[in-house]
Structure 1
């Protein structure tokens, strides 16, 4: 039989490093979190070749004594758990694995000086072997340098990506931690370039806007809500301000950056009927709740969490986001397309003169005096497409122009362009409204207020109940969600260990395949812990009804109809975007209009 033996410490550290340190960004995350836990007010990060060659983190935190530095490089040694109550942990780190793990797979240099100490101390460890230690000159705080990660472990080194990819991952880590602590000043240098220079006085909203996108501040709504012991803060982008990937969703639990499926599903549910399926919201959400209500000791990287009451957390986030968006729901992303604006400013230039002008001005010697004025000929008898475009507007009986009022944010209708866009004059600018997109949202909200959601979810009993065979774990999941599914019109019950009996389907999707529907819902339950898919399917049916029941593009509207549409938009929730996430209106400020004509 093989002999059981105790592994040497250096090998144990390398095994642990496989869980904690996957790439340079993993090491950087641990070092910056340590700096934050040390109550640093300023943190400086320096990268060379995306962290592949070296990465350095310097802070002005509490610092360490030489004995503490030696102890910090031993496994499971930490100052962040003064007692054994791990469920009460309030710091970012607590496992005591990061520093020895990093030091076992790289050349690791740590310099530190405690506040009040006369001098600092330095320790150099190369892949788990102590090379040297001694006095060091540095201000109070700590400086850690990691060089040549996995240099002596070629099997791990070859799995690292290019310097550009590793730099992108490191930048994402710094951004997330910078948002988590807007009171801490942070800088990031890559080679000789300064990438980030964040002061510690911006405040949460300004810090998020600086890190994510500056236009988010103008196209987002602030969030500050409480429910019981939970608090939700941050900034959520308007549905019309969205991205094609979900990489711009930053989620935090008790100040810790996390990537949690429950929170991601809650965000998707909150924006369900306001975004197209291939678009994603831009936001930064900070959830704070008592430490005993969340388990952060799920994964060594500490990016996953588990909630004691996950449904309460999800419901709070969904309702909180919807409530915040309902405050700014009549707004639309107000950044005009740069290409469109440039075409407004470009002067129309015709390459060749029209045939009519050529026939008039060619064939005559203009240096000799004219003998008399003759008939201009047929060229001036009627409109020529090359000289002047035919009039395309509608002639209406003249009426006194309506005066705009400050009570009308979308202004007063002045006309219609291409039978699709309403032109309105507001007190502070020019408003263009997509009549179909706007009316589509209005119809959807009317259907909801009239109880159409319940009508769509009304069940239709099957003449012969259908039996769907599935594995036992899937049946367990569906059986647990049966009550929630019944509210949407899907009636199911357990039919033996590995089968589900479908008795009725939602009326709106009565022709769907029950087996395919149940398998999709089971996948949804396994991924999100809740059946979101069925609700989304019914929302899609409701949105389709609204689309077919709204004013179509190309329909001529009277001025009073246009104004009625504008007034209803001002009263209706979420009227700033259609059911697919596109803006329903855009505004060109008077300042921009005057710039087009060179007045400013």
Structure 2
């Protein structure tokens, strides 16, 4: 390897490298420009976009403006009016403070600033890829206009990695909405190709602005929070447990008006909802923390989205206690763990308790996987007292309810349903316990995959199309996966600026509300499904469909349905696990049973 001498990088290259940390995509530019407008005291902010931000980003505000004498430094690196000395870095009360944003933007675009103060005249300055021009006279109202054209024109690698126009505009729309939520006294307008896409007018009710970040169906279930611990305060909205979604999209956290991502706040929120939401679902919340500026360090991430609290325990306690108190006051959170009655019949309840104790002892043993992939359970650690176990005939009739055809894993004896959730059947060497939902989900997934491979799924034209509100980013996502939707029998089309219409839906999902399915698909598509290949995305969507269409835990099954489910089990590969990876079947061998009843010499 040829050794090169150490040399000083040129200022232009330094600025391009710095821009790579701050400016990731057009939405990053918009976010930085909004921060500057907020610091300038603007009450009206308009953002105009062309080609998803590639060709033009223009932000117009009515803030205090930049004096003519300061304009030459506006595009200079590490030049700012927001810090005077070292101590100010630890008492930051502004959105920006590093003096990097405009310099970074100018280094990778053709940028122009036009500004006027209340007691001055308008002037402008340009920056073309790091080449800063002279200040010139201009015509403008009080405030500042920043134009950014040809973003990444001199960084072709970064430009190639940008998504399509609608996707990039979706990111911009999200950035504007996220920035606007804490500021009800400021009007925000977002236009794309001259068409108004988002308008958030000034509102007197702060909660009304916060609701702009949620779907309309969350409105009725919202709960306001306004509590404090001395100078530490928490304000915002939380949703009922029914508003919880499988994605984090509807969680917005703010610190002193700045949007943040923080694991401390997120964990406290999750703990407050513990026991109220289903596993894998996240509560909806817009939480705004007010903390003394000296008690937090916002200078720990290039985008200022992560912070470090001096007293994280205090913040955690404030969030968890405030949210939990609101949930309890709304009769949503039990003060103590409820006692669950499984049945009123004492005989049946006694059976359930003993079966639970028996299987708990069995499951305490070591699990091994047999050649079928089923989980085989070795000897347990604890065993219920023999004298406490009544004969099984007392609880289950000796006559079989239905004959199960001879199969590889299940014999031709009866199968019973336990708690309307599990199937218990005799196998060649013991018994098996099947999770009815997990098994049916795997069966449906494999059958759907085979049908999609052969051709598009059969769909049904909806007599009345279902409509669904959608953001620009969500509409872009649906447009991207349109070929996939067609393969699975779903037809979705725009129905206005922020609404889509579901026109066709798979006929086998007749019990599922199409709008609910598409809403969940869109939510997951914005986060979890973004970077998947086409085949991986197909599997994820089929998994969703299978999970929705499969029988659920708690659904009673007839003997015929049980028989059919077990018969289909033998026709499916990988039936030992559901598409999520959970086991569908547990096996308890006859030898394990004999050990339980002390019939062996061990």
**Which category of TM-score, normalised to the shorter sequence, fits these structures?**
0.5 to 0.7
Cα separation, 1, equivalents of 2:272 and 2:312: 16
Other-structure match for 2:107: 104
Other-structure match for 2:251: 249
TM-score between both structures, scaled by the size of structure 2: 0.54
Cα separation, 2, equivalents of 1:185 and 1:226: 28
Other-structure match for 1:297: 299
SS at match of 1:245: coil
Deviation, structure 1 residue 553:
8.9
1:125, 1:132 within 8 Å by CA — same for their partners in 2? no
Cα separation, 1, equivalents of 2:261 and 2:69: 36
Deviation, structure 1 residue 330:
4.8
Cα separation, 2, equivalents of 1:302 and 1:112: 26
Runs of 4+ in 1 over 4 A off after TM superposition: none
TM-score between both structures, scaled by the size of structure 1: 0.55
Cα separation, 1, equivalents of 2:335 and 2:92: 48
1:60, 1:142 within 8 Å by CA — same for their partners in 2? yes
SS at match of 2:241: coil
Cα separation, 2, equivalents of 1:127 and 1:443: 63
Deviation, structure 1 residue 24:
0.6
Other-structure match for 2:451: none
Cα separation, 1, equivalents of 2:199 and 2:193: 15
SS at match of 1:91: coil
Which of 265, 268, 271 aligns to 1:266? It is: 268
SS at match of 2:269: helix
Which of 445, 467, 476 aligns to 2:338? It is: 445
Matches within 5 A, 1:306-317: 306-317=308-319
Other-structure match for 1:477: none
Cα separation, 2, equivalents of 1:278 and 1:298: 30
Cα separation, 2, equivalents of 1:148 and 1:46: 14
Cα separation, 1, equivalents of 2:325 and 2:49: 41
Matches within 5 A, 1:561-576: none
1:183, 1:203 within 8 Å by CA — same for their partners in 2? no
1:112, 1:141 within 8 Å by CA — same for their partners in 2? yes
SS at match of 2:181: helix
Other-structure match for 1:353: none
Against the structure 1 CA distance between its residues 446 and 316, is the aligned structure 2 distance closer, same or farther, given a 3 Å change threshold?
Answer: farther
Cα separation, 1, equivalents of 2:54 and 2:323: 40
1:205, 1:217 within 8 Å by CA — same for their partners in 2? no
Which of 60, 65, 69 aligns to 1:58? It is: 60
1:206, 1:217 within 8 Å by CA — same for their partners in 2? no
Cα separation, 1, equivalents of 2:71 and 2:156: 29
Deviation, structure 1 residue 133:
4.2
Structure 1 gaps of 5+ residues are 332-440, 448-551, 555-600
Which of 168, 175, 178 aligns to 1:176? It is: 178
Against the structure 1 CA distance between its residues 445 and 230, is the aligned structure 2 distance closer, same or farther, given a 3 Å change threshold?
Answer: farther
Deviation, structure 1 residue 197:
1.6
Deviation, structure 1 residue 102:
0.4
2:300, 2:307 within 8 Å by CA — same for their partners in 1? yes
Check if 1:95 corresponds to 2:113: no
Give a deviation string over 1:309-368, Cα, whole Å, max 9, x none. Answer: 21221122111111112222359xxxxxxxxxxxxxxxxxxxxxxxxxxxxxxxxxxxxx
Number of residues of Structure 1 aligned to a counterpart in Structure 2? 343
Against the structure 1 CA distance between its residues 82 and 442, is the aligned structure 2 distance closer, same or farther, given a 3 Å change threshold?
Answer: closer
Give a deviation string over 1:51-94, Cα, whole Å, max 9, x none. Answer: 12211111000101222111121111111113322111100110
Cα separation, 2, equivalents of 1:266 and 1:58: 38
SS at match of 1:281: coil
Superposed CA RMSD: 2.4
Deviation, structure 1 residue 159:
1.4
Against the structure 1 CA distance between its residues 285 and 443, is the aligned structure 2 distance closer, same or farther, given a 3 Å change threshold?
Answer: closer
SS at match of 1:226: strand
Work out which of the two has the higher radius of gyration on C-alpha atoms and give 1 or 2: 1
2:72, 2:135 within 8 Å by CA — same for their partners in 1? no
Cα separation, 2, equivalents of 1:309 and 1:107: 43
Structure 2 gaps of 5+ residues are 341-553, 557-602
Other-structure match for 1:284: 286
Matches within 5 A, 1:8-407: 8-85=10-87, 86-117=89-120, 119-131=121-133, 133-330=135-332
Cα separation, 2, equivalents of 1:40 and 1:145: 17
SS at match of 1:286: strand
SS at match of 1:75: coil
